[in-house]
Amino acid sequence: MRVPHSASARHGPSRDGAFPNCGSGIIGLMDKGSRTSQRRVPSDKLYGLEPTMSFLDLVHARYSCRAFTDEPVTDDELAKLLEAVRFAPTAKNAQPVRVWVFRSDEALAKIRACTSCHFGAPLLVLFGADAGAEGVFVRPSDGQNAALGDATIVAAHYMLEAKDLGLDTTWVGFFDTGKINEAFPQTVGYDLVGLFPTGHADPEKGRPTPRHTQRKELAEFVQEL
Ligand SMILES: Cc1cc2nc3c(=O)[nH]c(=O)nc-3n(C[C@H](O)[C@H](O)[C@H](O)COP(=O)(O)O)c2cc1C
C-alpha cells in the first residue's frame, strides 16, 4: 500500500491540538567506513513504496511514530542525523540554533520527565533557537527575527534524514519548558522549537495514525496570484 498524499479528509473542527498517545561525545561520530550510497530505508519501513525513493517518496513515507522498539540508534546514524542538521540553510547563514542530544540512561530519564510524548524512544533530540545569536537575520521591513524559522528548518532536516536512514521520529511540541530548563540549564534562554523521540518503529504500535493521511486539498491553501 502506498501512503496517499492527498486524502480528501481534512482536519476537522475538533482540531484541538491534542496528540495521540501522549498520555502515556557526539561530534565526530561519523563512521568513515559507513555505507552512504545505497538506499537507506529498509523495505519493511516503506509501507510498499518502491525501493528507490525520490524526495517526494521520502516525504510520503515519513509519519509521526509514537512507539519505538529498544533498538538503539547507532553512532553512525546519529552522526548522519547531525550532518543533515549542520547543512540546513539558515538566514544569512547565521546558524542560530542549538541541539541537545539525550541518550544516556540519566539524560533519558530526565528528559522523559519533561514530556509524556517521549514514546519510549532510545534517543531524543531537542532543538532551540537563539534569537540573540550573533549575525541572526532581523528583517528590516518588519523586525522579524529569523532564529525561530531557522531552527525549524534545521529540525525538519533532522526529521527527514531520520526517515532516510530507516529510523522514525515525531516532532513533539508538547513538553514542559520550565522543567526542561530546570533539568538542563544549558537550554535556558533558547526558544525550544521541537523535541524528537527517535528510533525504530514498533511494528504494531508504531504505525501511522489516521491523521497522517488527513491533508487539506491544495485549493484550500494555495492561491496563484
Ligand atoms: C510543530 C509540531 C508539533 C507537534 N507536536 C506533537 C506532540 O507534542 N505530540 C505528538 O504526538 N505529535 C506532535 N506533532 C505531530 C503532529 O500531530 C503530526 O505531524 C500530524 O498530526 C500529522 O501526522 P503525521 O506526522 O503522521 O503525518 C507535532 C507536529 C508538529 C509539526
Nearest CA to ligand 1 atom 6: 172
Given the CA of residue 119, which atom of ligand 1 is nearest to it? 11
For the chain, percent of residues with pLDDT exceeding 70: 77
Q: What is the DSSP letter of 208?
A: P
pLDDT value for 53: 80
Ligand 1 and 175: CB distance under 6 A: no
Ligand 1 and 189: CB distance under 6 A: no
Q: Which of 185, 170, 161 is nearest to 110 (CA)?
A: 185
Ligand 1 and 110: CB distance under 6 A: no
Q: Is the pLDDT of residue 48 over 60?
A: no
Residue type, 122: P
> Tens digits of per-residue pLDDT, 91-103?
999 999 999 999 9
Ligand 1 and 47: CB distance under 6 A: no
Ligand 1 and 111: CB distance under 6 A: no
What pTM, to 2 d.p., does this model score?
Answer: 0.84
Q: pLDDT band for position 189 (50/70/90)?
A: very high
Which triple of cell numbers denotes residue 38? 545505497
SS3 assignment for 93-149: HCCCEEEEEECCHHHHHHHHCCCCCCCCCCEEEEEEECCCCCCCCECCCCCCECHHH
Determine whether domain 74-206 maps to CATH 3.40.109.10. yes
Give me the mean pLDDT over the 130-150 stretch. Answer: 98
